[in-house]
Structures are given as C-alpha cells and as structure tokens.
Amino acid sequence: MPKKVVYKAQIEHLQILDEEGKLDTKLAKDTLDDEQVVHLYEQMSITRHYDEVAFKLQRSGRMGTYPQNKGQEANAAASALALRKGWDWLVPCYRENTALFMHGLPMHYVLLHWMGDERGNQIPEGVNITPLSIPIGTHMLHATGIAWAAKLRAEDRVVATYFGDGATSEGDFHGAMNFASVMQAPVLFYCQNNQWAISVPREIQMNSETVAQKAFAYGMPTIQIDGNDIFAVYKATKDAVDRARDGGGPSFIEAVTYRLADHTTADDAKRYRDPEEVEAWRAKDPLIRTRKYMESKGLWDDTKQTELQERAEKIVAEVVRTAEGIEKPTPADFFNHMFAELPHELERQRDTMHTSSLCQNPEQAGLRAGLERV
C-alpha cells in the first residue's frame, strides 16, 4: 500500500497593533472602536496601579505573597470585553485581575484573598467568576464542567479559562482539553504564554515549537496571537466565543506575552532571567503601545493621562481602605459559611466551641480513667 498524508496543520499568528502603536486597519475591521480602546486602556492602567500598590502592601507586611499582573493586562482586558458580563463564566488563574474587575468582582476581594481572608473567595451572587486558582492547571477541569453543564441546559453560555504555559504540562490540562473536545463543550482555553513557568523557560519545559499546536491533538481550533495587542486579543477571543455560542465547541488561544515582574513577591527573577530579555519586552508593554495608538489618533494626551492617574490612585486607595478595614471574622464564621443548612452536630460545635467527643462526651475520648482519678 502506498504511503499517504493523513494529517496536515498550520498555525496562524495574529498581530493587529504593533509595538509602535501602528494599526493594521484591514485586520482591525469590526473589532474595537475608539471608545472601547480608551475604555480598555483605562481599565489596564487602573489595574497596573493596583498591582503596584499590592506589591507595596506585601513588602510592608500588610499582605501575603502576591503575583503581579504587570505586562499581561491586555490579555485579561480585551478578552473580558468579548464575553458577556453576568452570563458567560470566567475561570481564572491569578493574573487576570482586569477581567475579574470588568466582570463585576469587587476589587478588594483580590486583596482579601492574598491577605489570607477567605471572604475574598466568596464570590458575590450574580458574578459568574470562580475563585482564584493557585494550584497549576486544576481549574481547567472545572471550566470544562461548567461549560458542559451549560450545554446540557441548552444555555448559550461560554466559559473562558485562563492559565500559563507551564499549566499545559500538567495532566489536568490534557484531561480538560480531551473532555471538552469530545463533548464539544463551549469553553475557551486561553493560555497566557509569558515565557516562564516560574523559573523554567518554555523551551525547556516542552518540546513543541508552539503551545498552540497542543490543541491539534484534540481536534480543536487553535491560534497564536500577540498577547500584548488588545485588538488581536479581542478578535481571537470574539471569534472563539462566537463559535462556541453557535455550537462549534471549544477553542484554544496561545497569547504570547511576558510577565515584567517576578513570578510572585516570593520570587527573584533576576536569578534566572537575562536583564536584556526583560528590557526587550518592556518595549512591548501593552499600555505603552495602546497609548501610542491613542495619541496618534488624537484620543489621548498628557492631561488625560494625569487625570487617569489621579483617578486610579483614588480608586485603589479606597479599595485598600475597604480591604484593611473589613470587620474581623469570628470563629463562628467557619461554621456559618460551610453549609447552606448547618448540621446539628456542627451547630453544637459552633455554639460550644468544642467537638462532640471532647468536653461533651468524655467516654468517647477515653477520658473516663482520668476523670475517675481526679
């Protein structure tokens, strides 16, 4: 039997707004209008200031470890705009703050999370966002489950889940991708390829030339985009979301970006990253290129920038006051927020602050002999 080719594939790379703020008007058609561009820039800028303040909170001992979003804001902002607020679901990792805020999560919740206050994970009713996911890759399974549930209910919801390049080396990623593909679940797998899985560069932790090609194994539409380009992010996300909403199943996006800060405040990236590499990526900062574009169109100037900075400072200062001024939790809260209806056994523990086997029934704890000696 003669040999024959049974599979061919190619991956497109999409960039619409380059590093100098120059727009490909043909590719940009039917994407973002001027008002949306300004809105996204404002949201990214506020989150950037939020990031800087959060870093200072950690360094001053007022908050625990914090992962900065700096340099990756375009991914969260532009993709969030392509999803329906209050209807579609966001299943985040921990570098999607702009998307979370745009979809209704109160800004102080993220600070509470990193301060170790579980109330930061109690997502308000009607906000379709899952709590931040610290374990790498596990949340993609939840995203697929939510998407499958929406399909079973005949709802046209779409679920977007975010993760880094390192997460694609986890088994949970492959399980989620396979299930989503087989069941044709309406889920978007959005990979923020920021080049580093903590201290391991992408080219060492995987042997594939791109991350996007991993989707081919699951028969899933895939694309690689410039993740610092709000136009490319919006278009790729909108295309995937529209396809999923119309019954076309899951999609994969590899957004090539870069984390300009350390992995977290517990990390020192100078130990493993070349300073020249970091500086090269600073020139590709999504805020810088977006501002260049707006200025070229007369949409932005120094006065507006000053006004935005002052507004960001005011907003973030209020967010910090809210997070630090929240009423301290009580021991009873541990019980009150565990079940919709608290079982009698746990109700008794809450009211007495003792387990049922200690101080209430000494025989169960083997304390009879001790009590008889007293």
| One domain for residues 238 and 362 | no
pLDDT digits (tens, 9 = 90+) for 126-137: 999 999 999 999
> 0.85 cut: is pTM over it?
yes
36 belongs to a structural domain: yes
Confidence of residue 35 (pLDDT cuts 50, 70, 90): very high
pLDDT number for residue 367: 53
Question: Distance between terminal CA atoms of the chain?
Answer: 91
DSSP designation for 17: B
| One domain for residues 142 and 274 | yes
Question: Dihedral, CA atoms, 203, 207, 209, 210, nearest 10 degrees?
Answer: -80
Residue among 294, 352, 238 at smallest CA distance from 41 = 294
Q: Please name the helix (run of DSSP H) or strand (run of DSSP E) that holds residue 251, with its range, or none.
A: strand 251-256
pLDDT number for residue 334: 84
CA atoms within 13 A on the CB side of 122: 10
Say if residue 366's pLDDT is above 60.
no
| One domain for residues 258 and 335 | no
Question: Whole-angstrom Cα distance, residue 177 to residue 98?
Answer: 25
Say if residue 374's pLDDT is above 60.
no
Tell me the two tokens of residue 48. Answer: 């950037």
Write the CATH number for 87. Answer: 3.40.50.970
Say if residue 372's pLDDT is above 80.
no
| One domain for residues 208 and 315 | yes
Locate tokens 């574009």: which residue?
293
Q: What angle do CA 34, 189, 29 make, to 5 degrees?
A: 25
Q: What angle do CA 295, 315, 299 make, to 5 degrees?
A: 15
DSSP designation for 327: P
Say if residue 115's pLDDT is above 70.
yes
| One domain for residues 161 and 99 | yes
| One domain for residues 248 and 355 | no
| One domain for residues 60 and 111 | yes
| One domain for residues 242 and 352 | no
1 belongs to a structural domain: no
| One domain for residues 181 and 271 | yes
Confidence of residue 329 (pLDDT cuts 50, 70, 90): confident
The CA-atom distances, in angstroms, between 120 and each of 161, 195, 278 are 19, 29, 32
pLDDT number for residue 310: 98
2 belongs to a structural domain: no
Q: Please name the helix (run of DSSP H) or strand (run of DSSP E) that holds residue 226, with its range, or none.
A: strand 222-226
Locate tokens 């979370």: which residue?
100
pLDDT digits (tens, 9 = 90+) for 235-252: 999 999 999 999 999 999
DSSP designation for 208: S
The pairing of beta strand 196-197 with beta strand 13-14: unpaired
Our count of domains for the chain comes to 2
302 belongs to a structural domain: yes
DSSP string, 163-200: EEGGGGGSHHHHHHHHHHHHHT--EEEEEEE-SEETTE
Q: Please name the helix (run of DSSP H) or strand (run of DSSP E) that holds residue 161, with its range, or none.
A: strand 159-164
Locate tokens 């999803």: which residue?
83
4 belongs to a structural domain: no
| One domain for residues 41 and 162 | yes
| One domain for residues 363 and 222 | no
Tell me the two tokens of residue 72. Answer: 């990756």
Catalytic sites, residue numbers? 259, 263, 272
Q: Percentage of the chain surpassing pLDDT 90?
A: 87
5 belongs to a structural domain: no
| One domain for residues 207 and 131 | yes
pLDDT number for residue 241: 98
258 belongs to a structural domain: yes
Selected residue with higher pLDDT from 223 and 358:
223
DSSP string, 31-71: S--HHHHHHHHHHHHHHHHHHHHHHHHHHTTSS------TT
Q: Which residue range(s) make up the domain with 54?
A: 13-324
Radius of gyration (C-alpha) of the chain in whole angstroms:
24
Tell me the two tokens of residue 208. Answer: 């594939």
The CA-atom distances, in angstroms, between 302 and each of 48, 259, 355 are 18, 26, 63
Say if residue 337's pLDDT is above 90.
no
**Residue pair 164/200 in contact by the 8 Å Cβ criterion:** no
Residue 274 neighbours by CB under 8 Å, 6+ apart: none
pLDDT digits (tens, 9 = 90+) for 162-207: 999 999 999 999 999 999 999 999 999 999 999 999 999 998 999 9
Locate tokens 């908050």: which residue?
63
pLDDT number for residue 17: 98
8 belongs to a structural domain: no
